[in-house]
Each structure stands twice: as structure tokens, then as C-alpha cells.
Amino acid sequence: MPGFQGLLGAGGLIGLLSGLVGAGGGFISVPFMAWCNVAIHNAVATSAALGFPIALANVAGYIVSGQNVQNLPDYSFGYLWLPALVVIAVCSVLMAPVGASTAHKLPVKQLKRVFASVLYLLAAYMLYKGLAA
């Protein structure tokens, strides 16, 4: 792993990109850690732990940036819509143990392929949405 300054830079970039695309930091932090020779199972677990502070920082940004926006749905705080927050939080808490268990059962090579496939699907979706806009 790089030193403190390298990690600070990588963390800042991962957080920035996560906020821009509205995704968790795992889509960047796992490949970054794998590139730094961190075992894939450890990278996935660390990424899951990193997702919470990244999400908190981005949520704060969405709340602040949407404070003066009119005609948002009921139960909104800035761009944060509470019903979606509740559903996503509940599903995340319920499914996190399933994901962790599955990740530890898969061989390293297969886990890397699954993760790469998810990244390709995310990239294809983002390209589609970008071209359709």
C-alpha cells in the first residue's frame, strides 16, 4: 500500500468519484487495493467498511446542495429522500451478511471474475444513461 499521502489522495479520489456517480466506493477501492496486492477477500471486506464513511460524506453533500431546491418530494432533506434511505438501509443490513458469506466461500479467481462482471455491468449502464441523456 502507498504511504499516508498516497492513501489520502486515493481515498479522496475514490470518495469524489463515488459521489459523482452515486455509487459506493467499492467499485474503485477494491480494484485499487487489489492493484496494491491486498488479498481480494480483504479488499472486499475493507471496501465494505469504507462504504459507510464515504456514504455519510456524500449524503451530507446531497443534503446541503439540495437545501434551496423547490418542488422536491415530501420527506426530502435536500436531495435525500427518506423513504429511499430507509428501504436501502434495511436491505443493506439484511443482505450484508449474505454478501460477506458468499464472498468468503468463492475462490479468489471466481470472486475477481464476479467483481469484474459487476464493474462491466455498471460501466455499461452508466454509458447507456450518459448516451441517452
N-term to C-term CA, the chain:
38
Which residue segment(s) compose the domain that 9 sits in? 4-132
Helix axes 26-35, 4-21, angle to 10 degrees: 150
Q: How many CB atoms lie within 10 A of CB 46?
A: 16
Give me the pLDDT at residue 5, please: 94
**What is the per-residue pLDDT across 47-58, written as a single tens digit (0 to 9) for each?**
888 778 877 888
Q: Which of 1-10, 14-23, 102-111, 121-130 has the lowest mean pLDDT?
A: 14-23
Give me the pLDDT at residue 48, please: 80
Task: Map grid coordinates 446542495 to a residue.
Answer: 65
Give me the pLDDT at residue 91, please: 93
Residue 70 has pLDDT above 80, yes or no: yes
Average pLDDT, the chain: 87
**Is pTM, for the whole model, over 0.85?**
no
Residue 131 has pLDDT above 90, yes or no: yes
Domain count, the chain: 1
Residue 20 has pLDDT above 80, yes or no: no
Give me the pLDDT at residue 103, please: 82
